Structure 1
């Protein structure tokens, strides 16, 4: 759910008319990355064979709360490191108090878990381990070898939350969750070189993963719920968008694994989650949710020009 950090470089240009306090919170909560969250619930519901409804919205709301909790907790846990390496971040710069960040982590976690029961018993069974994974990643696992796997598990669980909210179970959504988790694992591994750069191994491995996932999206089973022609065309376009968004910056980082290009590769990987989610929904035959998810990409790009997505 949370996105890999630390981030390198600046936090983006300041939007005109935005107060310093609002900008600080937009940076802390990674405003552009919020647009990568609703697609998890939509793709999960599609994979489970359900149609988006009120429970899907509740699952998406729970996901957004847990995601933002993870963002705030991430910066709180990194405040000492950020003071030395990224003093412009909201906490070390003094624009947001550490106590406020803790509240911003705890309150959304409670809200996210509180919404889950309204989405059904199955959603509760997923939301509880999801919240635990988010907190375990930020506080314990992030700097360990298990960090990328924990991040991947969180994102996979988030998709399963959308599936569970349909009341149809999560078994049929497991392949889609595995695709999203694999992409997240690759991006998280690359993110470990954001501040130092260094070896091209992680970007090359992530590039290979992107190629493999692209092939799986084109070969995967198509649902009979929509006309095959429409399904194949939309799925093909969305799969191509995913591959382009993810692969190009990864190739640059592999050729020159500098901190700047590595950070761009991570940002591309985060943005690529939107067309990936949309392609997964289209593969399940849910063209409406697929197009709705894809429509979030322009907003993510726009806000990423103002506030860093990583």
Structure 2
């Protein structure tokens, strides 16, 4: 049986802190009650962990050369065990979403699980990779908004665009990226902010207090993610790109918090935003990338 720390590395345990904000923000914009959406993040986290475990299983040959310290090439977790964990977590994730959201949620969680597997096994190194990964996070936002997915289209789009940029940049974590790639990631961050800004404009029906709070979280997002990506654009070596990728993963919580605040879900917004510093502390012990 693998050690607990090895399992934590396999599923990128700290990165799970960035997942609940997807479901909560989607539920907020779809008008689902906080109580009704409270357990949906459990299903999202299980599906996320499934994808991380499957990613390491699919990458085991490449990691043996480029990242031999990872749990499968180092022998701390056997490849069949990692695959079994990935499948088990995926099945559990779909089951939880069905228990919480019924058939409507299944219509989202089953394609989400399929896209996660498609990315890890087929699409990751293809030109479509960032788009497929972005689709998984966009669907994750819609998971708790299954009753009215159109109402949550903007937060889903913002999270998807953000994810596409981070995924594109992450390809340079080992060998470095190009300034153009880092610039594209920075442009994606700007686009995510633009989608949010269009929803916060005057005349949108969002009260001024909510707009100001959401804008404050948006500034934190820009400072955390945009600044790191700007550094990567100026110096796209592997170390700087890796740091920007980590900032992109953890900084997503500020974007989610902004969408929550815009709908008046202030307590969940604070909780989600608080996951960013927790993510940074946890990432020192277990790598999120």
TM-score (norm 2): 0.94
In the alignment, is residue 249 of structure 1 matched against residue 228 of structure 2?
Answer: yes
Distance 1:108 1:198 in 2: 32
Contact 1:72 1:105 in 2 (8 A): yes
Match of 1:214 in 2: 193
Distance (whole Å) between structure 2 residues aligned to residue 231 and residue 187 of structure 1: 28
Contact 1:217 1:283 in 2 (8 A): no
CA displacement, residues 109-128 of structure 1 (integer Å, 9 cap, x when unaligned): 11111112222221111001
Which of 116, 119, 126 is equivalent to 2:97? 116
CA distances 1:179-223 after superposition (whole Å, capped 9, x unpaired) = 100000011111111111141111111212222322432341479
8 Å contact kept, 1:42–1:293: no
Query: Superposition pairs for residues 176-215 of structure 1, below 5 Å?
Result: 176-215=155-194
- For 2:257 and 2:26, the matched residues in 1 are separated by 11
Instruction: Measure how far apart 1:227 and its partner are.
Output: 8.3
The answer for the alignment partner of 2:251 in structure 1 is 272
In structure 2, which of residues 40, 47, 50 is the aligned counterpart of residue 59 of structure 1?
40
State the distance in 2 between where 1:223 and 1:160 align.
Answer: 25
Aligned to 2:273: 294
Larger relative CO (CA 8 A, sep 6+): 1 or 2?
A: 1
Residue matched to 1:228: 207
TM-score (norm 1): 0.88
Tell me how far apart the structure 2 counterparts of residues 146 and 50 of structure 1 sit (CA, whole Å). Answer: 33
For residues 266-299 of structure 1, what are the alpha-carbon distances to aligned partners after superposition, in whole Å with 9 as ceiling and x for unaligned? 1111011111111111223322322221122222
- Stretches of structure 2 that go unaligned for 5 or more consecutive residues are none
Alignment partner, residue 143 of structure 2: 161
CA distance in 2, matches of 1:223, 1:40: 25
Following superposition, the deviation at residue 153 of structure 1 comes to 0.3
- Tell me whether 1:152 sits opposite 2:131 in the alignment: no
**Paired residues of 2:155 and 2:196 also in contact (CA < 8 A):** no
Q: How far apart, CA to CA, are the structure 2 residues paired with 1:122 and 1:246?
A: 33
2: distance between equivalents of 1:33 and 1:39? 12
Q: Which moved more, 1:228-237 or 1:188-197?
A: 228-237
Other-structure match for 1:97: 78
Separation in 1, partners of 2:206, 2:199: 16
Query: Structure 2: how far apart are the matches of 1:138 and 1:263?
Result: 19
* Cα RMSD (Å): 2.0
